[in-house]
Amino acid sequence: MKETPQDKKIMKNLMPGQMSIEGFVGKDARHFNQIIYSDRVKLDNLDLTTKMIADRLQYFTDAAFESYDGSIIIDAKYEVDYESFRGKLICPFSHLGVYRKGLIKLKNLDNGIELSWTPLNIHMIKEHCFFEGFGSIHRLEPKIIKEALF
């Protein structure tokens, strides 16, 4: 696959220190297109789509955001906590628009599986099928998403 100037710019944005201190690829040495491709295959195998996942993450994000005091129980099964931070993030794929800084933590009370994500994760999954690289602090593994949320 030939790398376009736009691809180069995105790759740079995903590295530590460009748009976030930690970056978005962790220890993953693969090109972002390969990371995306491999997660797309995983989604197919799990019978999930990016929209299904993004909608589910957004649902919990919105519910938790509206409850201001600590963690809440949603649908009698999920304990969710929304931690807000000052500031905004922009999409490393050079989209217009800004995303709130925040961290949503969820625990599935039936099976004990925990998951955390940021508002930017939801956008990157929905629009780019990007779950971040291996070792990245906000990497979301499709299999764990399925076990926690579906």
**Contact residues for Zn ion, defined by CB under 5 A:** 91, 93, 95, 127
CA neighbor of 19 nearest in space, from 84, 105, 94: 94
115 token code pair: 């998951």
Report the C-alpha gap between 63 and 79 in whole angstroms. Answer: 11
Phi, psi (deg, nearest 5) at residue 117:
-155, 170
Identify which of residues 79 and 127 has a Cβ nearer to Zn ion in the complex: 127
- The CB-of-90 to Zn ion minimum distance in angstroms stands at 9
Q: Which amino acid makes up residue 137? A: I
Which helix (H) or strand (E) segment holds residue 143: the answer is helix 142-149
- The CB-of-95 to Zn ion minimum distance in angstroms stands at 3
- The CB-of-91 to Zn ion minimum distance in angstroms stands at 3
Identify which of residues 12 and 95 has a Cβ nearer to Zn ion in the complex: 95
